[in-house]
Structure 1
Amino acid sequence: MHRLLTLLALLTVLLLAGCASDRRNQALTTTLNAYASTVRWGDFQTALQFVDPKVREEHPPTPLEMSRYTQFRVSGYDDGQGPAASGENEVRQVAQIGLVNINTQAERTVIDRQTWRYDPEKNHWWLTSGLPKIDTE
């Protein structure tokens, strides 16, 4: 009887862990899709809301930095092979973002190396690497 109770307890723990993992994976998929869509539309003000609040507080973008994003139109967003786990509650993803300078019509691609952290209490993924780094060259 003791073995049966132990086995049932173990199965319950595994089932709950699986549910938590499914919730975390679903939250990641939803977040990455929403972020990609936001960037594709060139809405970097909204994309800033995906950045971890602690990162935004410690390194807030200046108005000049945010205005640079308005100089570009996003022509493409390719997240390649998607996210790869880099820790228990962290994933990394590399995205190529096509940008067209609205003043010169010059197109170029930037590589955005993203790091995402999972907050298990809020079932929420946060971008800790900040917005894509672009230059006005």
Structure 2
Amino acid sequence: MRLLKYLLLTCLCAFALAGCQTTGTQNNRLFEMQYAYSAAIRWGDFEGAGNLIKPELRKKLAPTPIQLERFKQIQVSGYTDVGSETDKKKGSAVRIVNIGVINRHTLAERSVRYVEAWEWDPVAKTWWLISGLPDFWEGQ
């Protein structure tokens, strides 16, 4: 009887640790994807950032050749995380960022607030961007 309790407790601990590992891996993967995305935006690699858009949405949300040309007119001067929220049950995450943008022609700098929306793909075991790239010209 004592051995049975010990085995049951061991199994429960193993399952609990496996659950923690999955959650930890999912959180780590979100951090990695958000870091890669923000690095691509900071360095002006908008095509690369577009590759992080969910494949089913990529044709609709990926930058067009004209938009890619417009992106060449700006320089990102800063990318600051303002706040974030993750809903593990729904497999979604939102991050609010302020992006400093400099117009290469006028050298005028301004700040753009952008909300990133992320979705967990349990099959691919990765996070995908579902909000598209920032619109640096909204309201201008």
Are residues 1:134 and 2:136 paired?
A: yes
Which among 18, 42, 45 is matched to residue 44 of structure 2?
42
Q: Does the aligned pair in 2 maintain the 1:77–1:97 contact within 8 Å?
A: yes
AA partner of residue 45 (structure 2): D
Which among 66, 72, 77 is matched to residue 75 of structure 1?
77
Runs of 4+ residues deviating >6 angstroms:
none
- Looking at structure 1, the residues matched to 62 and 18 of structure 2 have their Cα atoms a distance apart, in angstroms, of 38
Are residues 1:10 and 2:28 paired?
A: no
What runs of 5+ residues in structure 2 fail to find an aligned partner? none
Q: Does the aligned pair in 1 maintain the 2:117–2:131 contact within 8 Å?
A: yes
Task: Note the C-alpha offset of 1:8.
Answer: 3.1
Distance 1:60 1:75, change over 3 A: closer
Question: TM-score, normalising length from structure 1?
Answer: 0.88
- Looking at structure 2, the residues matched to 58 and 102 of structure 1 have their Cα atoms a distance apart, in angstroms, of 28
Q: Does the aligned pair in 1 maintain the 2:44–2:76 contact within 8 Å?
A: yes
Q: Percent identity?
A: 33
Q: Does the aligned pair in 2 maintain the 1:93–1:115 contact within 8 Å?
A: yes
Map residues 50-69 of structure 1 onto 2, 5 A cutoff.
Answer: 50-69=52-71
AA partner of residue 85 (structure 1): T
- Looking at structure 2, the residues matched to 91 and 42 of structure 1 have their Cα atoms a distance apart, in angstroms, of 24
- Looking at structure 1, the residues matched to 61 and 40 of structure 2 have their Cα atoms a distance apart, in angstroms, of 21
Which among 3, 16, 30 is matched to residue 32 of structure 2?
30
Pairs aligned (count): 136
What runs of 5+ residues in structure 1 fail to find an aligned partner? none
- Looking at structure 2, the residues matched to 121 and 62 of structure 1 have their Cα atoms a distance apart, in angstroms, of 28
4-13 or 71-80, larger mean C-alpha shift: 4-13
AA partner of residue 8 (structure 1): T
Which among 85, 91, 94 is matched to residue 92 of structure 1?
94
